[in-house]
Amino acid sequence: MSTDDMKSEDKKAEHETSDNIKTDDRGNINPPSGVKLPAELLSAGIYKVVLSQPKKDAHDIASLQSRNQSRNQSRNQSQNQNQSQSQNQSQNQSRNQTRHPALKAFPPQNHYTRATIESDGNNKFQLSMYTAKQNFHSNFNANDLAPVLDGLFGVLFLQYHAWDDQYEYQAKISKKGKLLTSRKKNADPPKKTSFATGSFNRQKNYILSENEAIPALMDMGIFTKDGKVAAPMKEKFGQINRFLELIADETNPDAVPEGTVINIIDFGSGKSYLTFLLYHYFANIRELNTNICGLDLDPHVVNRSNEAAKKYGYNTLSFHQGDIGSQSVPPLKTWGKQSTFDIVISLHACDTATDHALYNAIKWDADLVCAVPCCQHELKKQMTPKSLSILSRNGIIKERVSALLTDAIRANLLECCGYKSQIIEFIDLEHTAKNLLIRAKKRASKHVNTNANNMTHNRAASTSANPWHEVEAAISEFSLEPMLLKLLRDGGLLV
């Protein structure tokens, strides 16, 4: 940051320090004497502070450290070196004894690259110190902000950046030991971090939140009786919310205004966790007329789900026994009517069952399709590369490539049938390898062009890729016959 960078519209000051920045033989910063942040940079309303060390200075310090080490080794002045180390240790011990209690939680031998201070909005701050691989935290009272900063700025960090509701504050110690400061009106202030009440745990803004009366979550064991998330189910709770968010993104009030009827068909509903929560979201949170039908092959699961729907009073949620591939018409009478928004979801339908779900969604003109594929074995058995044999030599590589090819072809075929498709990672890979979601939303005109050989304009204008030509190239290279393509051709949806 140059001196010019520190200029501001309404305030600028420059303070001379009595000493230049010094470093010891290990490259640690020795603070200039008397360097403190001016009171005008410590507004009572500050909610965020970022402390850092200018990159150029950090580079110079590293170079100095390297030169000092080399020089000390060549001179072999062990006595002077020991005396210097003894003095440094004495200085560090003295400095540590006078440090604010909030700073004593941080190992002094670490090299900290930056620090942040954030307010909880209730007279508390959290200090976070970062090394290259770790971070450390300590909490302190708001009235201790100035002494904490005194122990950091000019000691570990040479640059200060802070925000309150009106102003942005900056300070920097230059290489010549000058303190440069500025204050200017906020142009693009950082967002205030949301912390859970009474703690510094960051509060995630889930669609479904704790303390809501959601009977389905209690019966599933995700919520305790008092409405809290059960400790073993926190990951599951996050996954459910993530799926809801991906649907909510495409069904916001602009896309699905008040008065719209929501129709959802869940192919392979299983235990129906998400089915019940989708109903809760649209019927209770969004207050939209909602009709949902879940299909599953297991009659016992279907019966239990129907009993639960009756128990919760979800009168327009029903479950039926049925095979995804045998459905000829939508199982909802309200499907496709005027002022409806029709959604097909399919979670972990095995192998080609996902293809049948996508085919039915296209055939029934669904407005939105969300599918999480599972067990993509079909193309692995067919995969015989012409020129890329490296991708089929090892079994694990062949399995992963064939799974990715399967979903990439599915997404492109949805594009060919008038949808804007995305492949999204919706769960961290550490939780499950089945973490990809195909989300496809119908474009303004239905089935813009069902001639597979003339699909170029179905892609966004920003790309020259042709989804059909990409499918053809993949099929040719790997000798594939994808099930979804066969279904679309046999059904006359692609010619």
State how far the Cα of 373 lies from the Cα of 409, in Å rounded to an integer: 13
In the chain, CATH 3.40.50.150 covers 215-490
Round to whole Å and give the CA distance between 226 and 300.
Answer: 30
For 15, residues 6+ apart whose C-beta sits below 8 A from its C-beta are: 38, 178, 179, 181
Mean pLDDT of 117-137: 81
Query: Cα 384 vs. chain centroid, distance in angstroms?
Result: 36
Overall average pLDDT of the 408-436 stretch? 80
What is the spatial distance between Cα 194 and Cα 209, in angstroms, rounded to a whole number?
Answer: 14
77 pLDDT more than 60? no
- Give me the mean pLDDT over the 83-93 stretch: 49
Instruction: Report the C-alpha gap between 83 and 308 in whole angstroms.
Output: 77
Residue 441 confidence (pLDDT):
95
pLDDT score recorded for residue 366: 94
What pLDDT is recorded for position 56? 43
- What pLDDT is stored for residue 58 in this prediction? 38
| pLDDT above 70 (res 71) | no
Three-class DSSP category at 97: helix
Instruction: Show contacts of 446-451: CB within 8 Å, 24+ apart.
Output: 446/365, 446/418, 447/365, 447/417, 447/418, 447/493, 448/418, 449/418, 450/416, 450/417, 450/493, 450/494, 450/495, 451/495
pLDDT digits (tens, 9 = 90+) for 1-29: 433 344 433 444 444 333 344 444 444 44
What pLDDT, on the 0 to 100 scale, is given for residue 205? 62
Confidence (pLDDT) at 341: 95
Query: Where is average pLDDT lowest: 25-39, 127-141, 257-271, 317-331?
Result: 25-39
Q: Mean pLDDT, to the nearest integer, of 241-266?
A: 91
Under the banding of pLDDT at 50, 70 and 90, the label for residue 83 is: low
Q: What is the three-class DSSP state of 116?
A: strand
**Could you tell me which residue, 191 or 447, shows the higher pLDDT?**
191
User: What mean pLDDT is predicted for residues 443-454?
Assistant: 51
162 neighbors 49 (Cβ within 8 angstroms): yes
**Residue 265 pLDDT > 90, yes or no?**
yes
What is the rounded average pLDDT for all residues in the chain?
77
Residue 278 has pLDDT above 90, yes or no: yes
Instruction: Tell me how far apart the alpha carbons of residues 86 and 216 are, in angstroms, rounded to a whole number.
Output: 66
Query: CATH 3.10.20.30: does it fit domain 215-490?
Result: no
**Rounded distance, CA 417 to CA 414, Å?**
5
Q: Which residue has the higher pLDDT, 468 or 8?
A: 468
Euclidean distance between the first and the last CA atom of the chain, given in angstroms as a whole number: 61
List the single range of 36-50, 78-92, 351-365 with lowest mean pLDDT. 78-92
Q: Tell which wins on pLDDT, 34 or 471.
A: 471
The rounded radius of gyration (Å) of the Cα atoms in the chain is 31
**Does 2 or 286 have the greater pLDDT score?**
286
Determine contact, residues 378/483, Cβ cutoff 8 Å.
yes
Tell me, what's the pLDDT at 413? 95
Whether pLDDT at 54 is above 70:
no
Q: What is the pLDDT of residue 456?
A: 38
Q: What is the pLDDT of residue 430?
A: 43
> Which DSSP helix (H) or strand (E) runs through 362?
helix 353-363
Report whether pLDDT(235) > 90.
Answer: no
Q: What is the pTM of this model?
A: 0.59
Kindly tell me if the per-residue pLDDT of 94 is higher than 50: no
Provide the phi-psi class of 465: left if phi over 0, else alpha when psi is between -120 and 50, else beta.
beta
Quickly state the pLDDT bin for 400 (edges 50, 70, 90): confident
Alpha carbons within 13 angstroms on the beta-carbon side of residue 429 total 1
**Residue-level pLDDT at 486:** 92
pLDDT score at 44 = 81
pLDDT score at 92: 46
> Residue 385 pLDDT > 50, yes or no?
yes
Average pLDDT over residues 156-170: 89
Using alpha carbons, select from 248, 289, 446 the residue that is nearest to residue 364.
446
What burial class does residue 74 get, using C-beta atoms within 10 Å of its C-beta: 0-12 exposed, 13-18 middle, 19+ buried? Answer: exposed
Residue with more model confidence, 479 or 300: 300
Q: What percent of the chain has pLDDT over 70?
A: 74
pLDDT of residue 63: 39
Task: With beta carbons less than 8 A apart as the criterion, state whether 230 and 224 touch.
Answer: yes
- The whole-number pLDDT of residue 106 equals 77
Give per-residue pLDDT as tens, 426-446.
Answer: 765 444 456 789 999 999 644
Of 139, 150, 184, which Cα lies nearest the Cα of 164? 184
Is 210 or 69 the better-scoring residue by pLDDT? Answer: 210
DSSP string, 406-431: HHHHHHHHHHHTTEEEEEEE-S-TTT
Share of the chain above pLDDT 90, in %: 26
Cβ-count burial 432-445 (b if 16+ within 10 Å, e if not): eebebbbbbbbeee
User: Which residues in 285-308 are b (16+ Cβ under 10 Å) and which e?
Assistant: ebebebbbbbbbeeeebbeebbeb
β-pair type (135-141, 124-130): antiparallel
**What integer pLDDT is reported at residue 215 of this predicted model?**
84
> Which residue has better confidence, 51 or 177?
51
